[in-house]
Every structure is written in structure tokens, then in C-alpha cells.
Amino acid sequence: MQVLIPDELVITSRLMERWVLENGFGGKVLVYSGILRSLEEKLRRGDEAGINAFKSLREACERAGAAMEIVDVEGGAADLRTALRTLAVNSGGEVVTSDPVTARLCEALSIRFRYLAPSKILDLEKIFQGSVMSLHLKESVPPRVKKGVPGAWRFEELSSRPMSREELELIIAQIMMDVYSTLGRESFIEVEKGDTMIVQLRDFRIVITRPPLSDGLEVTVVRPIVRKSLEDYDLHPSLMARLVEKAEGILVAGPPGMGKSTFAQALAEYYRSLGMVVKTIESPRDLQVSSEITQYSKSAATHGELYDVLLLSRPDYTVFDEMRDTDDFKIFIDLRLAGIGMVGVIHATTPIDAIQRIAQRLDIGVIPSVIDTVIFMDKGAVSKIYTLEVVVKVPRGLRKADLARPTVLVKDFLTGNIEYELYVFGERTFIVPAVEGGGRAEGGADNKVADIASSILGKHIRGYRLRVVGDQLRIEIPPEYMKVYVRKCQKRIYRLCREMNMALDVVVLNGE
């Protein structure tokens, strides 16, 4: 009697059910109990699609005259893939799978297997034509694509009909088939854990999330729409000279989708063209760079391992794409202080926000040794360039009677103008605009509280008025900035007044 042993993916995609009915299978289907436990756990967390697919498979077997049996592996198994292979060896059956890793292992071990995949229902090359940036598929939602360029894009529906769970499972099975055919050469599975899978399929980065992590099965496909060289950005000659001669701690900052990674990719290729050794840290590995540039996966190694590898291999530059958490910043800082040139890509709404995110993790005097150049991207172009240097002076916001201290000057690279000063007062690091942000302090402008409050307000609000009257700080805010004040300034101003034992009065500016 023919024995088939399905994995979880062919069950949830209903490919096994379809094959049983189409072929009138009358043999035996062995379902590993660990798959049922996995489906049970998902059901407990609110995802019933898998258990419904299993029920449909059982009913299909009954209609076709096939026997279904739930089995265990003697002694247990480390994981589902191992259990399926063990069952196949013990029963003489075939593993039925839509998982490229399972198929490759069975092939390598001479274990009989059957690979099931749907007919081609998703043509990514056809979809990603013109100005398509990404494809967004989610159950119960019509399929959409994002079209345009960084900073100027729009969503378009490919169909008005919402996607079903079954359709998405089939699309995932097709994606896995494409990965299977190019695995290890053009494709790889970057992350596979729990309810998340990140796959690199040729030029496409594919993110798959399942409930309960997401509120429905979702597939997102992204492919860079442009591959630029540094010359395409038409950078100022002095900046090009700095990137080669002086810049060794570079932050490439900007909001999401503004071309940060594309610029970092171009910079990596530029350094490679100069004969430098360049490596990248990514998660996932989706920068489109030459094979001479080694791409390290952050998700495949610990930060300690990455640090040791990069420190021992001594690249001239390392591009760290998408720095997010404390560990990311720590490895960037440690490698830079070890003498390795670093290019960090970081999300930030303004250039000074990018500096602040890393400044709070460093002693003030060390900041320019770690970051010497900040390049801010907006709509795919370089919109601002800052350089940093440290001096000892009396910073803005402190009275002349205070001692001079190390102060980081943030300068506009092209004009040489100082735009911000960073210094430590007490245990807090302050970032003070060199030119007030459109507001003014009255009555007590030389008061320390007023200066510190101005430094907080000046980064977000224009046209404010501020004065100290006795033991009260009075702030007048233009009406259009009140929401900004509440969201970004209120807590810090309130804490400042509490520390200084002062009353706070905030009113709407009447427009005089």
C-alpha cells in the first residue's frame, strides 16, 4: 500500500487535499502528531485556517477511500522535518512537501519525497514592471501594489476582489517552489521562526506573517526599483572628496522609503571601486551589491560573532543597513572605535534626530570619533549634510559663570554654519539650535530654565514666546503647533519645571 506523509504546508495550502481528490488516492496518509499540535496551538491563538484545512483533508481522504492515521515518532524528534524523515524511513512511505528545505534534505538523504506546488498563479516579473515598488497581499483585502518613487508614491489595487486564505497559501507554496529551484544560488530563506518567514527570491525580498503575529495571513514583496551609482546623485565635489579622505563614521538617515538603503548601496559600490574591502550587515540581506562585497546576516549570527568576524577580517568599510536597537548601535560604535570605517543606515525624521539617537549612547566628547558625517535623504536625493566636531567652550543655554565644557558643534557641511550644539548639563545631554527656531524668550532670556526650555521647543516649534516671571515659566504657543507641543515637548518641559521647582503656564498665542 502506498504511504504518504504530508508536511504542514501541503496541508494548510490544501495542495494535499487537491492531490488526493484529483488522483483518487486509496492508500494511507500518515499525519505526524506534531503537526496536529502545531495546528492546535495556532487554533488556541485564534488562527483556525490550519485546523479547517486538516478537516478538509480528512474528509477528502474519506471520499477517495484513503486511510488516515495520526502517528508519533518513537523517542520523539527534534523538529517536524526530522520527524517526517524518520516516519518515511520507518514506514517506507513518501514525504509530501511544499517546503524547499525538506525536499532538499530528503533528496540528499535518498528519502522518497513528492514535491507539490500549484500552477503559476503569481508572476512577479510581470507585476514588477514600470514604477512598481512593492506588492501587498493580505487575506480579506484586495491585492495592491505601491507605485512611484521614494517620497512620491501611491497605492493601486490589482483587483477589487479580496484575497482568500486559500489563495494566499497557494501563492506561498508557489513562492517556496521558486525558492526550491534556485535555493543556495539565487535564493535563500533568511528568517523562519514561528509566525514569520523572510525569503530572498532572486531580487525579491518576501515577508510572510501569520496570525497571531499579524491579524491575517500577509505576504509583502519588495524589489528595489533602481540601482544607482554614486555619480547618479550629482554630489558636490567637496562631499565626494570628504567621503574618500575624511568620512569614516557616516550616518545615512531619513524617513522610511526615502532612498537610504539605495544610497548606502551606491556608497558601498563606490568604495569597492576604489579597491577597498567592503562588507555589509543586513537583516534581511537585500542590498543589491557586487559579489566582491560580503553580506553578513544579522539574524543568522549573534552580535558578538559579527563583531569578532569583522574585527578579524578588517574591512575598510562596513555598511550596517537598518540600525534599530541598542545592540545594533553598540556594534556600530565598537567597530568604529576599533578603527573600521562604518556607514550606518538609520530611520529619522530629521538629521538632528539621527544624531540624537546615537549621541545618547556615547560620552559627549567621543561622538565625533564615531560619527563625523550625517547624510540626510529626502525623496531619493541628498537634502542635508552635517559634519561634527568637538571643542571646549561655554555652550549656548549656559551662563558665562558656568565652566566651559566639551561641546559638539553640528555644522552644515556646504555652508560651514553651526546649526546645533550638543553638551552635557547635569546628567542630561542637550541639543541646542545655534539659531532659535523662530521663537524668542522674553523678560528672563538669560535665565537657565528659559534657555533649556528654548532648546526643547526650538527643535519642533516656530513662533513661540517664552518668559520667566518670578517662579513661573510662561510659554505661548501658536495654535497650529499645540498638538506638536503636547506630543513632543510637554513631558520634557513639565519635568524641567518640576526639577527647578517652578510653575508652568502654557497658553495659545493670540496672534498679536
pTM: predicted TM-score of the whole model, two decimal places: 0.64
How do the pLDDT tens digits run along the chain, 512 residues long? Answer: 899 999 998 999 899 999 999 999 999 999 999 999 989 988 888 888 889 999 999 999 999 999 999 998 877 666 888 899 999 998 999 999 988 888 889 999 999 999 988 777 788 888 888 788 899 999 999 999 998 876 677 888 998 999 988 888 888 888 888 887 777 667 888 777 878 888 888 888 899 998 888 888 999 998 865 678 899 898 999 999 999 888 999 999 998 878 898 899 999 999 999 999 999 998 766 777 888 999 888 877 777 888 889 888 889 999 998 888 888 999 999 999 999 999 999 998 888 888 888 887 888 889 999 999 999 998 888 999 999 999 888 777 666 555 678 889 999 998 888 888 888 877 677 787 875 444 444 444 345 777 788 888 888 888 788 877 777 888 888 888 889 999 898 998 988 888 887 888 898 876 54
Residues 31 and 143 in one domain: no
Indicate if 405 and 279 belong to the same structural domain.
yes
Cα 451 to the center of its chain, rounded Å: 37
Provide the CATH number for the domain around residue 159: 3.30.450
Contact status, residue 355 vs residue 374, Cβ threshold 8 Å: yes
359 and 244, same structural domain?
Answer: yes
Same domain, 330 and 454: no
CATH number at residue 469: 3.30.70
- Regarding whether 251 and 389 lie in a shared domain, the answer is yes
Q: Based on the fold, state whether residues 76 and 179 are members of the same structural domain.
A: no
Looking at the structure of the chain, the number of domains it has is 4
Q: Are residues 366 and 272 in the same domain?
A: yes
Question: What is residue 359's predicted lDDT score, i.e. its pLDDT?
Answer: 83
For residues 282 and 402, membership in a common domain is answered with: yes
Compute the distance between CA of residue 256 and CA of residue 488 in angstroms, rounded to an integer. Answer: 20
Q: Indicate the residue among 203, 222, 241 that finishes a domain.
A: 222
Which DSSP helix (H) or strand (E) runs through 411?
strand 405-412
* The pLDDT value given to residue 441: 44
- pLDDT at position 445 is 37
255, with CB counted inside 10 A (0-12, 13-18, 19+), is: middle
Kindly state whether residues 235 and 360 are assigned to the same domain: yes
Say if residue 104 is in the same domain as residue 168: no
Handedness of CA 355, 358, 359, 365 (dihedral sign): negative
Range of the domain at 37: 3-115
> Can you tell me the distance from the alpha carbon of 399 to that of 450, in angstroms, rounded to the nearest whole number?
11
Residues 299 and 395 grouped into a single domain: yes
Integer Cα distance of 115 and 103 in angstroms: 7
Residue 435: its pLDDT value, please?
Answer: 56
| Alpha carbon distance 410, 431 (integer Å) | 10
